[in-house]
Structure 1
């Protein structure tokens, strides 16, 4: 069996590193959930980092206390505030200097150091007879 060229091995290592970084970012984003109460305090929505409404809590008796317009305005105000809070949390999580990964140049140096530079490049094509 033929061996993989050192540059290809390095490129595969970089691809693996980038996949891990993307997975870490997605995990951080998936953990973000905002729950901000409405101005009346009767409605609490649950919004994720992408602005999707995950849940909506209405305090008992909310529909009886508010008319349709007040209820709609209360729900929209709570969702808007929760969405803004989720966006702030996302910005903080993604721009936190504690979460910065190692520079790619450093990763590349390590990957290249793992290969032997004096090794000959494998021959591709037909084997010599």
Structure 2
């Protein structure tokens, strides 16, 4: 159970570390989005609000958030599917377990025949 808890904590830490910052088409808006698509921060270059109208500014912000969210999802998929992070196959674990003669094997509670 302890190993499982540590493994879950490691997965959470890897997911929390994923952040994407992709600029808008104009480059004046840069959002910070986490692996779950949540907006964590938003940078607007000086004068951005004066340069765009309301609808244009909203479109710039949404385009940047969408691009950042897609990048964060890509990073998440890469991080979670890394072969070094995947659990070992059960057959490999059982093979190691069976190879240890000093360890008692569990039984079903019935005497062997």
Of the structure 1 ranges 103-112 and 54-63, higher mean CA displacement relative to structure 2 is found in: 103-112
The structural deviation recorded for 1:96 is: 1.1
Higher helix share goes to which structure? 1
1:73 maps to which residue? 59
Of the structure 1 ranges 16-25 and 42-51, higher mean CA displacement relative to structure 2 is found in: 16-25
Q: Distance in 1 between matches of 2:73 and 2:4?
A: 24
Q: Which runs of 5+ in 1 are unaligned?
A: 1-14, 119-129
The structural deviation recorded for 1:101 is: 3.0
TM-score calculated relative to the size of structure 2: 0.80
- Which structure is richer in relative contact order (CA contacts within 8 A, separation 6 or more)? 1
Computing the radius of gyration from Cα coordinates, the structure with the larger value is 1
Q: Distance in 1 between matches of 2:76 and 2:23?
A: 19
Q: Distance in 1 between matches of 2:80 and 2:103?
A: 37
TM-score calculated relative to the size of structure 1: 0.70
**100, 104, 109: which one aligns with 1:117:** 104
